[in-house]
Structure 1
Amino acid sequence: MKLGFLTACLPQLPLGDIAAWAAAHDYQALEVATWPSTGSREFEASHIDVTGFDKRRADEVSALFDRHGLTLSALAYYENNLHPDESRRAEIAAHVRANVDAARLLGVDHVGTFVGRHPGLTVKENIALAERELPPLVEYAGERGVKIIIENCVMEGWHPDGYPGNLAYSPELWEWMFDLGLYLNYDPSHLMWLGIDPVEALKPYIDRIPHAQAKDAQLDPRARNRYGFFGRTVERADGWDSGWWRYRVPGLGDVDWRRIVDTLYEGGFTGTLSVEHEDPVWSGDVRRITQGLEIAHRTLRPLIVG
């Protein structure tokens, strides 16, 4: 197992600077953000431009990672593959394929994304849509030796009422997407506020988890007494503000990282555990963000052998 982090938390820095910082602070891997520079998400980052990516550029990126002794664990483009606008959906699918092509040139095994959701359709209708849209991407990736990994983020901000915007949030849905040939980029933080035990959910599926993310969640049950499980309604300033929980860097929330890492080892996991830094306390500027990454490292590195 290697400890890494997702570069999306540092959109203002070039990849070379991030790699140098990671190596100097005893991180072993990077999950590299590849959103287009004009993408649709407010927290996008573009540390590798996969559009028109070629062998020359692949050699440059590989040399950068070799120079710093780092592993490139995955390319990361977490977007809505079931977007309600068909033209936008086609753009997203094309960018997933571009990520797969870049991963093949780089010798990277994994491309991360979301299933997503069309918010105007029922879950049953979305599943039927996914069963049409996703298998061609899985086939395209498989022909190039790449696995598509899906993060189990709820993406409640993508739904107008704060309901799940990514149909990969529970073990029931994991089993469905495994049948489509997809893999799981497991993140325990999302399970915490859903009321799912992240260790018990992890145990049966480790053979379908080639990559994992490390993000914590801090729960406030007293606030939940006001808003209920689904979070704020009248007082909701934006789709991401539930009012009773928030993401934290590992060690500052309620996830039991000793049990998570031990369960991964017991199940034979040999991939990368990649810190996904979305902590509002340790955000704002580069110094603050990297301090958050240092906190995550102090929490996780002692648990990882080698």
Structure 2
Amino acid sequence: MKLGVFMVLLNNMGFEEALDYVAEKGVKMVELGSGGNPGNVHCKPDELLADEGKLRAFKQAIDSRGLTISALSCHGNPLHPQKAIAKESHEDFIKSVQLAQKLDVAVVNTFSGCPGDSDDAKYPNWPVAPWPNDFQDLMKWQWEEKVIPYWTENGKFAADHNVKVGLELHGGFSVHTPGTLLRLREAAGEVIGANLDPSHMWWQGIDPVQAIKILGKNNAIHHFHAKDTLVDTDNVNMHGVTDMQDYTKMQDRAWQFRTVGFGHDNKTWADIISTLRLVGYDYVVSIEHEDGLMSVNEGFTKAVHNLKQVLIEEELGEMWWV
């Protein structure tokens, strides 16, 4: 496995300055925002697809620092009921796939998206309870009419370009658990896999180690994010895990994102890394910084330090003792 970073945390830096910064920290792979919620500050598909010279210079800037791109990330909602929003997310995905192929990048990360409750809806509708039965009817319609058709078609587009789709299992979207990921993968093919982020497992009450085992048995982990979550038991009892308070209300929220090692100890992270190795995952562990108690520099630096203690990097040799 190689240590990586989701470069959006350095959007305030120029591209080459940001590359120098992460290379000095000992990172080996970079995940680049190419549209959608992450933006495209460091990676502009329109420009790079249109100009071979810019594309070569872009790749050289990364290669010359001993870095590799782990993924292009364009997290959006291509199933949004407002057609303009859906169209923009879809186009970001298509361009990201085309650019990934040109750059020999294996994965494009995004969200599954979430439709509304009808073709006339204005906002996404994320059902989280099976009763009243309207919610079951709604979810059946969403999956059969929107989620599966979209990803069957666009998963094939990605596969035709030798790119895998890493869906982040994130609340608010149709694919948000190992079960929903495997449901879509069964329908749309093995090109669909997880960009597995343990921080989103913890707040949903899912053990990331078990999530890795479930998905790993199906070779369904395409990319991995390293971000922690602290769950406040007292506040969970008040607000539940689907706490809708703003992320800035850190004293009152049921849970909050933290830097690696500040929500769960290094033994927990060692178990996560070891389980990734156990199921055969040998790609990136990409740091994502969304800690409201630490600066970008401090949060990222501490995440690098904590992960270096548990990351398994060398090739697995023979069991000489057996």
- For the criterion TM > 0.5, the same-fold answer is yes
Q: 1:204: which partner in 2?
A: 214
Which secondary structure does the structure 1 equivalent of 2:87 belong to?
Answer: helix
Q: 1:280: which partner in 2?
A: 292
Equivalent residues in 2 for 1:19-38, closer than 5 Å: 19-35=19-35
- 1:142 is displaced (CA, Å) by 0.9
Pick the aligned partner of 2:104 from 94, 104, 107: 107
Between stretches 239-248 and 10-19, larger displacement belongs to: 239-248
Give distance in 2, aligned partners of 1:227 and 1:34: 35
Letter in 2 for 1:220: D
Q: 1:300: which partner in 2?
A: 307
Which secondary structure does the structure 1 equivalent of 2:281 belong to?
Answer: coil
Pick the aligned partner of 2:225 from 213, 219, 223: 213
- Gaps (5+ residues) in structure 2? 118-124, 126-137, 315-322
Pick the aligned partner of 2:140 from 109, 113, 124: 124
Give distance in 1, aligned partners of 2:298 and 2:26: 14
Pick the aligned partner of 2:283 from 268, 271, 283: 271
Letter in 2 for 1:9: L
The TM-score with structure 1 as length reference comes to 0.87
Aligned length: 283
- Gaps (5+ residues) in structure 1? 155-164, 283-287
- 1:195 is displaced (CA, Å) by 1.0
Distance 1:292 1:188, change over 3 A: same
Equivalent residues in 2 for 1:144-159, closer than 5 Å: 144-154=161-171
Give distance in 1, aligned partners of 2:45 and 2:4: 21
Give distance in 2, aligned partners of 1:77 and 1:87: 16
Matched, 1:290 2:305: no
Point out 4+ residue stretches in structure 1 off by more than 6 angstroms: 238-242
Does the 8 A contact of 2:201 with 2:208 survive in 1? Answer: yes
> RMSD of aligned C-alpha atoms?
2.0
The structure with the larger Rg is 2
Distance 1:130 1:5, change over 3 A: same
Pick the aligned partner of 1:70 from 67, 71, 74: 67
Q: 2:201: which partner in 1?
A: 191
Does the 8 A contact of 2:241 with 2:255 survive in 1? Answer: no
Q: Tell me the percent identity.
A: 27
Give distance in 2, aligned partners of 1:302 and 1:238: 29
Does the 8 A contact of 1:78 with 1:114 survive in 2? Answer: yes
Pick the aligned partner of 1:250 from 260, 269, 272: 260
Does the 8 A contact of 1:34 with 1:50 survive in 2? Answer: yes
